[in-house]
């Protein structure tokens, strides 16, 4: 059993708990107090071997479970914790970008709905204007047809000739205006 050899150099990666446990074991076995002049240590008895095995098992158990309060986490637990800590900012940024994208999508959908609404209003207004133009042109067409019926050709009994389809506005006689300049002044107090 070379693990309790005092001449061996100290292990660099050994935790402080293991060093304390080794020092305690050496003290219990009397290895730390023996003078160096006695020579090599004698072979340990069976009770010492059983004690060494139980202490080794206890050290392994303490390493696996964290060794009590204030002890650092074992290496097997450190890696997942580090990965979880490193993934938090990534998850937060992905969540932020996703929520921004959802907000932009809703905004685009609202703008599209508003655009469709405005287009339908514009189509209704254009249809109303077109209907108004047709209603306004209808009396002119009826008046033009009535004037065509009074032409001398229609009175003579010949077949009515069809027009070219153009609208013709009947001429109205110009209104007569008095030539007196006083008549058209607004605030004239004569």
pLDDT in tens, 84-138: 999 999 999 999 999 999 999 999 999 999 999 999 999 999 999 999 888 887 7
Does 2 share its domain with 65? yes
pLDDT class of 154 with cuts at 50, 70, 90: very low
Does 91 share its domain with 114? yes
pLDDT class of 34 with cuts at 50, 70, 90: very low
Does 66 share its domain with 112? no
Does 115 share its domain with 141? yes
Does 26 share its domain with 47? yes
Judge whether 187 lies within some domain: no
Judge whether 170 lies within some domain: no
Does 48 share its domain with 106? no
By percentage, how much of the chain surpasses pLDDT 90? 24
Judge whether 176 lies within some domain: no
Judge whether 28 lies within some domain: yes
Does 64 share its domain with 105? no
Total domains, the chain: 2
Query: In whole angstroms, what is the distance from residue 133 CA to residue 127 CA?
Result: 10
Does 25 share its domain with 53? yes
Average pLDDT score, the chain: 75
Contacts 24+ apart (CB under 8 A), 161-166: none
Judge whether 154 lies within some domain: no
Q: What is the pLDDT, as a whole number, of residue 169?
A: 72
Judge whether 21 lies within some domain: yes
- Note if the pTM is more than 0.75: no
Cβ atoms of 22 and 29 within 8 Å: the answer is: no
Judge whether 113 lies within some domain: yes
Q: How many alpha carbons lie under 13 Å from residue 162 in its C-beta half-sphere? A: 2
Q: What is the pLDDT, as a whole number, of residue 31?
A: 75
Cβ atoms of 48 and 26 within 8 Å: the answer is: no
pLDDT over threshold 60, residue 160: no
Q: What is the pLDDT, as a whole number, of residue 1?
A: 46
Does 96 share its domain with 137? yes
* Full residue range of the structural domain in which residue 128 is found: 81-148
DSSP string over 45-89? -HHHHHHHHHHHHHHHHHHHHT-STTPPPPHHHHHHHHHHHHHHH
Does 62 share its domain with 19? yes
Q: How many alpha carbons lie under 13 Å from residue 70 in its C-beta half-sphere? A: 2
């Amino acid at each position: 059993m070379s693990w309790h050899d005092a001449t061996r150099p100290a292990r660099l990666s050994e935790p402080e708990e293991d060093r304390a446990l080794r020092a305690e074991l050496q003290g219990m076995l009397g290895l730390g107090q023996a003078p160096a002049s006695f020579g090599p240590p004698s072979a340990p008895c069976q009770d010492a071997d059983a004690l060494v095995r139980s202490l080794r098992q206890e050290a392994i158990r303490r390493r696996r479970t964290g060794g009590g309060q204030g002890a650092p986490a074992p290496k097997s637990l450190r890696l997942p914790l580090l990965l979880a800590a490193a993934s938090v900012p990534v998850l937060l940024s992905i969540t932020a970008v996703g929520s921004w994208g959802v907000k932009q999508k809703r905004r685009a959908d609202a703008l599209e709905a508003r655009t469709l609404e405005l287009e339908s209003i514009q189509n209704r207004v254009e249809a109303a204007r077109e209907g108004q133009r047709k209603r306004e042109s209808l009396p002119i067409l009826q008046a033009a047809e009535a004037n065509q019926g009074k032409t001398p050709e229609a009175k003579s009994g010949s077949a009515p000739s069809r027009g070219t389809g153009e609208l013709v506005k009947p001429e109205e006689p110009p209104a007569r205006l008095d030539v007196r300049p006083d008549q058209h002044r607004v605030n004239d107090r004569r």
